Structure formats: C-alpha cells, structure tokens
Structure 1
C-alpha cells in the first residue's frame, strides 16, 4: 500500500533529521539545525494596517508578549560566531496568545532558500556529504541551491543589525474575508554596517551572543515586522522563487525586545520550545508551499528528541 501524503512527509522529515545529525554530529538535547541560540523576551505592538490585513489575534490586540530566538546556522552547538557557516542567522518569533495558545514566525538572514521540497533538501544533504563532483552536479542542476550558496550572508556587530526573511508565503484573512498572500520580513531600526571577512576574523567566537545582553542593558531594542504583499500571478508555493522587489511592503508592527532569558531558564526553555512554521491561528493560513508541512514535521520530530534528552541543553 502506498504511503499517504502525511506518512510520506513524516518519513522524509525523519530522514532529514537523521541527515542533519549525520552532517553536524549527534548532539542530544540540541536542534539538528540552528543549534546555537538564545531566547529574548519582549512585546509585539501591531500597526492599524496589520489588523486590516488579518483578523489574527496578535495583529488585532493592543500588544502581545513574545519570545524570540536568535541563532547560528548548522547543528553544531559551539560553532564560533565568526565561522562563515554560522550564517545565515536565524530569528524565530513566538507570539503568546494566552494559555497554551501561540503562533510563530520563522525567518533567517537571507531571502534565499536552496530547494522547493523536502525531498530535494534530502538530496542536497546527500550531495553535501559526498562533495566533489556529486555536489557540483547537484548545484549545476538546481540553480536555486547554487544561488543560495552564492548569496551574500552578511554579519554585523549585533544580531539587531541584520534583516531577516520568511521565505514561505502565507495567506492573511481579514475580518471581511478578504485574502492576501504575504511573505514576512524583519528589519532593524539600528544602522550597523556589515563586517568584512577580515573584521569578522578578529572577533571572539561568541561575540554576537555576548553583545545581546550588553545592548539590552541600555533599554529595549526594536525590530520592525513587515509583510511583502503578493500580486496576481506571484508564485506562492515555491520558497525558491522571489517576488519582484517593487511589490508593496506593509509594516505590521514593532517587536520591542527587553531582555535575554537568564541562564538555566534559557537553556531549559530552549530545550522545550518547538517553533512551528505552520501558523495555526485564525486569520493566518499556510499557502500551498510543500515546505511548510515538511518543516513543521522536522521541527516536531527533532523537538521531541530534544525534550527526551537527559540533560538540559539548547
């Protein structure tokens, strides 16, 4: 009997978790990707346009508590912040909607994504493991993966100096039933120049994570949540296809970040929290992008493994 779509998604997700762990080493208690991270608390305040585009609770309430996670790429928990492989950086947002209810946004610091499907991502992991001609052949036959590899991945003095991009499309539903397809963006309010390769080499291995609490001692730091608005005919089911830059961008609100969670609680909360790419809130729905269910399955599987690990690690 052939596998159902859900069974196939879970099978591929399991293979991807194992593939990531094989690539970066087994690190029980850590995420298989974006392993090195930290949690920061704050609030989200929406703009009036957010409530017009979507009836979702976090876009229509005066403010919503958030827990965000800044992270480095790879599944290596001690990867130096100076390592080129630590980019793109990750930025996840959890909106706490009351009780156990929440919705999340997941972004990273480049608008590029290498593949359209989980199966292609599994093939990419295999090619990366093989290297040489195999990797070259894969990149030659997958231009989006080559573009991702070649795309600029800047690093600044602070996580707060970067822009972050949600590569998947979502459908906003307004109170009157109007629908709008969007992609999220998070923009800095602080102008911090990108570091050159030479400047980056001179930094200490944990400079980004050390800078966060020091900066927040001076008061809250703001980031702006935006939505790039799709027009008729724009592709909404392929994370590798960019919408034209002239598409309208609306400001959805302000993230005011206050403090890095205290050691101990930070590690325990990172072990427990499973950010979810699927919105699961009235007013925001997934698009037909196949990566959304795949990413959700990967995060759930790896999150369950992380929670079951005997030690409290991030």
Structure 2
C-alpha cells in the first residue's frame, strides 16, 4: 500500500490524524478513529451476477477467505459499546487473494458522510473542537444531514447493516464499467436497541455477543451493490443516489470464528479504501485517496508503537 504522491493529500491526512488524536487523546498502538474493534474470520462466496460485472478474483473464485473487523466510532480504545458516540459502527472486510495480495471494502453503519473532501472533514472536526459547529452545520447541509441521521445502537454487530459511502467501478471482461456503492446486509435482519435498552447493556456487550453467536454457529451477511444510472454523481460521497436504482447481490459471507491474536493482528493490518485489484477501480471521489492516506499514516504510527 503506497503513500500518495500528492503532498497536499499527505499534509491533510496527517492533520486529520493529529486532529483525531487531539479530540480523543493519543493511544499508541490504536487507530485514531474506530479504535475499539474485534476481528473475525470467514469465507466469501460470490454470486453469478458478480462474475458478470467484474473480473476481480474475489468475484470469480469459488470462494475467498476473509477477515472482517467490526468497530466503534471514536479513537477511544475502551469506549463503552452503549455510548452514543460509539455510533456509527464500522465494518472493514479484507479479501485474502493469496501470495500476500488482498483487497478491502470499508463501510460504516450510516449511509451518510459529512463532507465531500478531506479538507472539508478537517474543517468539520476543527469547528467541533472550537465550539462553532452550529454555525458550520448551518453552512454545510451534508454535515448537518450526517449529524442528524439516526444512529441507533445495534443489538449485535451481526444485526447491523453497513454502507460504503464511496462509489467504485466494477469492470467486466469486455472492459465495461458499472458504478456501484456497497451495502452489507445481515442475514439475521437489522435489529437495534431503544435508548432505554442500550443503557442497560455491558460496556463490551457487542464483542461478548459476537463471541457467543460464533460459538453457536456462523454469522451470515450479503454484500449488495446499488447500481448507478447514467448521470448519477459518482465523485461525491455526500450525494445519495435515488432509492429506485437497481440493487444486485454480489455474494455472501459467513463468519465462523474470531481471528487468533486479535489485538496483535488489529494493530498490524491496515485497511485500504482503494481496491488495487483488477476488475474494481476507484471512482474520482476525492475522499478515497484521502482516506487511504489517513489509514496508511495512522497505520505506520500504530505499527511503530
């Protein structure tokens, strides 16, 4: 995973990491955002539709081993799972393609993202710290929509849905590109807690629930993709496509165990929002290179710790 060559991107990425650490504290060895998490192992099986849309190996091989990291928001490693600030939850999927090659899908539990660019997101955080967030939200409808979006606590990581806010291009064998956004849907259905119910939960109820469910059997999800129509905006994560756009199932995955040496492995591996695999290409969304730079810079810090 190479560092971006654009100096401005790296400068903003480093500023974002520093801003997160300024808000949540510096916790060496942990991510500056989504610090608290747990990683599972499983298998992804593609659909026939996925094979038609993309030449990517994970969409064409009979199956692919995966790691899935579930996480809470904030850079606080011990944030209670019942804390409102632990939403939205994260779900990062790593597809292991062999020969130390992999590709990732990064999602979280709301379809909203506050700002179109990394610079805009940095301003969002700076205004949050400065106490001027009210004025900022008044001038930035996308940030207001993100803040106001419902973010209920899930009963389980296995009963939460997760959204990829960025668009990607699936490339078929003829070179045709189809713009999509990912949506990860639980087999168990989306089930959330009320505000009163969540207050009664254990600070680590989500990880404990995950262990209990895995002991009883596999946890299943579908990976769906909303397909853009011609003219839909594909380079702005704050713009939603109309709900009547077609949705296809790209495959399913089953999680069957926790990853061994969980904390050690979480410290080491760095998710990459850029696919870097044949058959899937990034859109022109400016957040993608910025997110990749943030993840890589913070990952280098984490490994050094």
TM range (shorter): over 0.9
What TM-score does the superposition give when structure 1 sets the normalisation length? 0.95
2:256 equivalent to 1:258: yes
Which deviations, in whole Å up to 9, do the C-alpha atoms of 1:79-120 show, x marking residues without a partner?
A: 000000000000000000002100000000000000000000
Matched position secondary structure for 1:62: coil
Q: Which moved more, 1:155-164 or 1:238-247?
A: 155-164
Give the C-alpha shift of residue 193 in structure 1: 2.9
Q: Which residue is 1:90 aligned to? A: 90
Which of 195, 201, 204 lines up with 1:203 in the alignment?
A: 201
Matched position secondary structure for 2:229: coil
Q: Which residue is 2:265 aligned to? A: 269
Give the C-alpha shift of residue 191 in structure 1: 2.9
Matched position secondary structure for 2:216: coil
Q: Which residue is 1:49 aligned to? A: 49
Q: Which residue is 2:293 aligned to? A: 297
The Cα RMSD (Å) is 1.0
Which of 167, 175, 178 lines up with 1:177 in the alignment?
A: 175
2:63 equivalent to 1:63: yes
Any runs of at least 4 consecutive aligned residues in structure 1 with deviations exceeding 3 A, and if so which? Answer: none
Cα distance between partner residues in 1 of 2:190 and 2:115: 30
Which deviations, in whole Å up to 9, do the C-alpha atoms of 1:249-278 show, x marking residues without a partner?
A: 00000011011123xx11110011000000
Matched position secondary structure for 1:45: strand
Matched position secondary structure for 2:253: strand
Give the number of equivalent residue pairs.
302
Cα distance between partner residues in 2 of 1:154 and 1:233: 33
Name structure 2 gaps, 5 residues minimum.
Answer: none
Q: Which residue is 1:81 aligned to? A: 81
Give the C-alpha shift of residue 216 in structure 1: 0.6
Cα distance between partner residues in 1 of 2:216 and 2:30: 31
1:1-314 equivalences in 2 (<5 Å): 6-131=6-131, 134-191=132-189, 193-262=191-260, 265-309=261-305
Which deviations, in whole Å up to 9, do the C-alpha atoms of 1:161-180 show, x marking residues without a partner?
A: 11100000001100111110
What TM-score does the superposition give when structure 2 sets the normalisation length? 0.98
Give the C-alpha shift of residue 5 in structure 1: 7.3
Cα distance between partner residues in 2 of 1:123 and 1:178: 37
Q: Which moved more, 1:192-201 or 1:71-80?
A: 192-201
Which deviations, in whole Å up to 9, do the C-alpha atoms of 1:8-48 show, x marking residues without a partner?
A: 00000000000000010000000000000011000000000
